Amino acid sequence: MKKLKRSFSVGLLLVAAALLLPSARADKAEAYKYGKEGIEAAKNKEWDKAIDLFQKAVKADPKEANNYNNLGLAYKGANKLDDAIKAFSDAIDAESGNFAAYLNRGIAYSTQGNYEKSIDDLDRALKIQPDNVSAHRFRAFAHLQHKDYAKAVEDYNVVLKETENDAEILDRRAFAFWNLKEYDKAIADYTKIIKAKPNDKDGYLHRSYVYELKGDYAKGIADCDKVLSLDPKNEDAINRKARLEYQQKQGRATPTPTARPRRTLPPEPEATPRKMRAPGGG
């Protein structure tokens, strides 16, 4: 299987901790004003302006965790991950049980490739909100990158209870099953992807390779044929079909490459107005 490369969006990537407005009490009016203006700047991806406004909000009300979270998200939008992590840490200092701060810091660590710290933060986030799907999703990704495939499957199982037909999550769980040599389960997930996206050649290619590992050459050839009907010059399908036909004819397998972890990255939803709390929402 080709190594899958995906990159994070350059935009402000928000999960459960969408930009939050602190309480609009009279003694916090200045911080509230800066926070509200900062959110508008962030929505327009004016990162430097948003950072400046959230810094002012933090200075005006240094005990409000949401101000630090917003600052961290603005830094993250500007791809200043070290500064983002510092801001999320400050949010935790301001409020030790702040779910959003642990979640966001865990995601930032994952972006940096520091999966152990990411898992630690997401573990803490899930102690606060055990059923949070976003935290399970990002922890599963960190486990996948850390090659702990069994734990990745556990988290993806939780995610798929909420998003049963999510093709990207099915693909990653299938890949985890593949590495665990649970080939039938991997095939079942790829089959769900193909059913949802019948013209997606990657699903057939991935499934054909698992059939090859399992020794079911006829089904692997059939999947290669489907790919070639969609893309007659697809080199992966041409080469794999030739190998499968040889193995089928000889009645024994030739050495095949070991499945390797792909550098898959989970998508993070963009900020949208519906995810923001109204002014005075607490």
pTM of this structure: 0.80
Residue 220 lies in a domain: yes
Q: Which residue has the higher pLDDT, 90 or 1?
A: 90
* Residue 89 lies in domain: 26-130
pLDDT of amino acid 227: 96
The rounded mean pLDDT for the chain is 83
Last residue of a domain, one of 107, 130, 153: 130
Residue 271 lies in a domain: no
Tell me, yes or no, whether 186 and 103 share the same domain. Answer: no
Identify the CATH number of the domain in which residue 52 sits.
1.25.40.10
| pLDDT confidence tier of residue 249, bands split at 50, 70 and 90 | confident
Tell me, yes or no, whether 89 and 180 share the same domain. Answer: no
- Select from 6, 7, 16 the least CA-distant residue to 271: 16
Domain count, the chain: 2
Mind spelling out the 3-state secondary structure of 155-192?
Answer: HHHHHHHHCCCCHHHHHHHHHHHHHCCCHHHHHHHHHH
- For residue range 113-133, list pLDDT tens digits in order: 999 999 999 999 999 999 999
Residue 40 lies in a domain: yes
Last residue of a domain, one of 103, 130, 157: 130
pLDDT of amino acid 165: 84
Rounded distance, CA 229 to CA 107, Å?
40
Long-range contacts of 239-244 (CB under 8 A, 24+ apart): 240/205, 240/208, 240/209, 240/212, 243/212, 244/208, 244/212, 244/217, 244/220
Residue 217 lies in a domain: yes
Question: Which has the minimum average pLDDT: 13-27, 133-147, 188-202, 217-231?
Answer: 13-27
Tell me, yes or no, whether 114 and 38 share the same domain. Answer: yes
Tell me, yes or no, whether 43 and 118 share the same domain. Answer: yes
Last residue of a domain, one of 130, 159, 188: 130
Q: Three-class SS of residue 263?
A: strand
| pLDDT confidence tier of residue 59, bands split at 50, 70 and 90 | very high
- For residue range 11-43, list pLDDT tens digits in order: 334 443 456 655 545 457 889 999 999 999 999
Residue 188 lies in a domain: yes
Residue 14 lies in a domain: no
| pLDDT confidence tier of residue 107, bands split at 50, 70 and 90 | very high
Residue 159 lies in a domain: no
Tell me, yes or no, whether 42 and 116 share the same domain. Answer: yes
Residue 47 lies in a domain: yes
Counting residues of the chain whose pLDDT is more than 70, the rounded percentage is 79
Tell me, yes or no, whether 114 and 46 share the same domain. Answer: yes
Tell me, yes or no, whether 177 and 126 share the same domain. Answer: no
